[in-house]
Structure 1
Amino acid sequence: MTDTPRIVIVGAGPAGIRAAETLVAAGLRPIVVDEGARAGGQIYRRPPPGFTRPAETLYGSEAPKAQALHSLFDRLATTGAVEHLAESSVLAIDRAEGLHVLTPTGRRVVPCDRLILATGATDRLVPVPGWQSPGVYSLGAAQIALKAQGIALGQRLVLAGSGPLLTLVALQLVKAGADVAAVLDTAPMSAQAAGLTGLMARPAFALRGLAMRARLGRLYHSGVTLKKIEADARGVTAILWTAASGAERRTECDMVGLGWHLRAETQLAGLAGCAFDYNETWAQWLPRADRLGRAREGLYLAGDGLRILGADGAEVSGRLAATACLQDLDMPAPDPVADLKRLATLERFALGLARAFPWPADHLRTLPDATVVCRCEGVTAGELRATADYGGPEANRVKSLGRVGMGRCQGRYCQLAGADLIASHAQITTAAVGRLREQAPIRPAPVGAWVKGPPDTAGSD
């Protein structure tokens, strides 16, 4: 370890930006690695330069927060207070060498004494018969296309799933002039009412969400059951669904956006040696860390990659992770008391969200055998069940024998649903199925980047 600690932050969303700000205030110069061309993360994703849609249109009521974070990071980067590696992905972690980072100019090895992971979250998806068809996207993809390029991914759209993102993306598309035919929420009104107690931890935020829902009017349907996505050679043609009343419906469309809240992005945390616990509330494996985000010596987690708390929670946890880092370096650190109190409030609200918009486990248990579960490898529910019968109901055995989770996404979009499906078939708990082991590289990378070796080393001074 050099006299000046080499600290790397992965992710330049709200958590990463606040972590960088805290470290810079303490006199340190962290390296920030981010896959985006410009800082902001997914929630505050920035369009290319020259984009004409104003921030108020892109981010709604969150525009002031987004602009403040953008300005803060731009100032840190342009003044040299941080080193910003944009459009760069961490592919692997070597405890001795550091991070292997794929940059626009090739692979770099970034030495690292302390690591803050602010990797955010991705869409949490549930297989629906026909979801492998052209024209089916995640809600996050639909939002990225709208924010980054100002386009809708179809002419007649249906959005389906559950959680706040469903309402938010639907309203953003409607306001942009897209033809949204229906918004289908699998969460029944009874569950949404049961979550109100927790949601009242942030009453203004909850009321804002209800107001957004009201603006969707008759487009919104709760308590639905998704039956099938129809498609022809050109792509999606319609979606079949059952209303809460039991009535069978068919809605014609050429695009379907799916999403059930969020899934913590934890691949790097796993490679870095984090322990994990299965969280029944969020129906997913989450990294183990203390209240400040300290996962082990020299490793800190922040944002939705640790706790699914949204953008405001990410800012708080980013400061806390940096505070823990400074404490461990025996450097002057901010008092975390106020942020910890704020964190508790955000956690109560998040618990309300999880109860209001539950993971549709019943849908997974009854998934037809012909339904594709792993879109990358084309593995069906029937093949998954048969593999579990043959090799045993353990996630990594099913992966090695049946190829589920071996594709481009490395299980990001099929692991959670696949584990639930295996568990229900074997009549065991989802936690008993286990989680897929991470393997480097965690993103697809050109073979040449590894054959040629890293051209240089960042942060070696």
Structure 2
Amino acid sequence: MAGPRRRHHVTRVLIVGAGPAGIRAAETLATAGLHPVVVDEAARAGGQIYRRPPEGFTRPPEKLYGSEAAKARALHATFDALVAGGKVTHLPQRSVMALHEGVAHVLGEARQKIPYDRLILATGATDRLAPVPGWQAGGVYTLGAAQIALKAQGVALGRQIVLAGSGPLLTLLAAQLLAAGAEVAAVLDSAPMAAQVQGGLRMALARPLVTLRGLRLRAALGRHYHAGIALERIESDETGPTAVVWREAGGRVRRTGCDMVGLGWHLRSDGTLADLAGAGFDWSPEFAQWLPRADPLGRAGDGLYLAGDGLRILGADGAELAGRAAAIACLQDLGLPHPDPASVLRRLARMQRFAKGMAQAFPWPAEMIRRLPDEATVCRCEGISAGDLRGTLPLSGAEANRAKSLARVGMGRCQGRYCQLAGAEIIAAASGQAPRDVGRLRAQPPARPAPIGAWLAAEERREAE
């Protein structure tokens, strides 16, 4: 008589994020014989850079992704095949709200608890914003929001648009809007041309073709583009923005009429879930933000792996490599056969050199923020001004979390995603310290804002079942 059948332990791997990093991580794990679960907030996989429009959307990939259309198609096809083949479980339109003792608390149409043994976070990045007097008006969007509207809905969010900030997304979005027939009144870049040249040389040495592609996009902007500007204020009335007042590199003040403004200074790694999962963070003077601490393959803790822009801002190509690297690290730790990571690590090193050149070319406007007038709004969610924040320092001291508790900067819906870095600059300037000494706001669940009704409705459905 045969003995009892031995039960084999199945490793449960959870991937959060279905952008380039999450997709390549899932592919690598599935090829090794594991069956990961992929949770993503979007309805369809692809991430921000390769965001997919709704079913039946008629604009072709060439219009949505430009020169990256072939990459987008390949990435989408890879993930769709994994799901169709039963090799990956995809849970779209769900947000991971909390992580605790090996369980992800997820909110979508229903509340779920997803246990895991290994966790790969591919959470991407958010827009990095610097406050500008008047930016709290309706009709002032992030560059990312404007791009989402264009890609997912085929909509330009204004009839006369001004884009301002710095970084590759500024140029890319302007080119995409112009190609779609939108009226772009001005593209205002706070990065001095000298910095762009110096950083651009480093970028070209690391990735010459990508740098050349960016230069071509920039050249196509022609008279719309202005470098080395200083933003003075955004003027608005009851209908929204009416003009942006800005100063040329030579000092001349100009006023550009508009009915929509897009703002963004490159990207900020979204480390909320990494923080909740126990990752450490270090201040990066090169990128002027707090970045998670991880080894070259993305290990950030016991059973915790980070990939993509949520770890380092390396762009879509770098995110794909980082996703593979994180999956390889996971397989290594499980003692399973895995690809040799040497090639991936070499290519990632080149991506990192490019990213450092980009950070030099498009610097964070720290001085502009430090000079922000007292009446300017810093925290849009709570309506807190720069003067309110400065006024708390005699009681709070120069520590971000104590200042948050008194001034409420970072307590709103965005949980500091938009105002944390700017708030740190203001605190640092007022106290004579460096931003790193101010510290970072601690993450806390829920990781995403959610209406109370969503929790109640999910609870009612669960009880009905």
Task: Deviation per CA, 1:79-135: give whole Å up to 9, x if none.
Answer: 211110100000000115x0000022x110000100000000010000000000011
Q: 2:12 aligns with which of 6, 18, 28?
A: 6
Give the CA RMSD over aligned residues: 1.5
* 1:431 aligned counterpart, secondary structure: helix
Residue matched to 2:3? none
**2-structure distance, mates of 1:118, 1:422:** 31
- CA apart distance, 1:389: 2.5
Residue matched to 1:39? 45
1:126 touches 1:417 (CA, 8 Å); kept in 2?
A: yes
**1-structure distance, mates of 2:194, 2:303:** 44
Q: 1:342 aligns with which of 337, 343, 347?
A: 347
Task: Deviation per CA, 1:199-233: give whole Å up to 9, x if none.
Answer: 12100110110011000000000000000000001
The yes-or-no answer on 1:199 pairing with 2:203 is yes
Paired letter, 1:390? L
Residue matched to 1:237? 242
Residue matched to 1:249? 254
**2-structure distance, mates of 1:299, 1:179:** 45
**2-structure distance, mates of 1:46, 1:164:** 21
Residue matched to 1:84? 90
Q: 2:311 aligns with which of 293, 306, 328?
A: 306
Q: 1:258 aligns with which of 253, 260, 263?
A: 263
* 1:166 aligned counterpart, secondary structure: helix
The yes-or-no answer on 1:412 pairing with 2:417 is yes
Task: Deviation per CA, 1:23-71: give whole Å up to 9, x if none.
Answer: 0000000000000000000010000111111100100000000010001
**2-structure distance, mates of 1:73, 1:453:** 28
**2-structure distance, mates of 1:82, 1:393:** 47
**2-structure distance, mates of 1:374, 1:233:** 20
Deviates more, 1:70-79 or 1:115-124: 70-79
Q: 2:33 aligns with which of 11, 16, 27?
A: 27
**1-structure distance, mates of 2:400, 2:370:** 17
**2-structure distance, mates of 1:112, 1:419:** 35
Alpha-carbon distance change, 27 to 454 in structure 1, aligned in 2, over 3 angstroms: farther
**2-structure distance, mates of 1:99, 1:431:** 30
Identity across the alignment (%): 65
1:199 touches 1:349 (CA, 8 Å); kept in 2?
A: yes
Paired letter, 2:179? K
- CA apart distance, 1:445: 2.5
**2-structure distance, mates of 1:339, 1:422:** 40
**2-structure distance, mates of 1:319, 1:456:** 37
Number of residue pairs aligned between Structure 1 and Structure 2? 455
The yes-or-no answer on 1:64 pairing with 2:89 is no
Residue matched to 1:99? 104
Q: What is the 5 A alignment of 1:411-450?
A: 411-447=416-452
Q: 1:184 aligns with which of 181, 188, 196?
A: 188
| TM-score (normalizing by structure 1) | 0.97
**2-structure distance, mates of 1:349, 1:235:** 38
Residue matched to 2:166? 162
Q: 1:355 aligns with which of 348, 357, 360?
A: 360
**1-structure distance, mates of 2:35, 2:171:** 39
Paired letter, 1:174? L
* 2:274 aligned counterpart, secondary structure: helix
**2-structure distance, mates of 1:450, 1:224:** 45
* 1:322 aligned counterpart, secondary structure: helix
Q: 1:268 aligns with which of 262, 267, 273?
A: 273
Paired letter, 1:191? A
Alpha-carbon distance change, 160 to 448 in structure 1, aligned in 2, over 3 angstroms: closer
* 1:195 aligned counterpart, secondary structure: helix
Paired letter, 1:65? K
The yes-or-no answer on 1:278 pairing with 2:322 is no
Deviates more, 1:183-192 or 1:2-11: 2-11
| TM-score (normalizing by structure 2) | 0.96
- CA apart distance, 1:444: 1.9
1:198 touches 1:350 (CA, 8 Å); kept in 2?
A: no
Q: Could you list the runs of 5+ residues in structure 2 that have no partner in the other structure? A: 1-6
**2-structure distance, mates of 1:20, 1:52:** 29
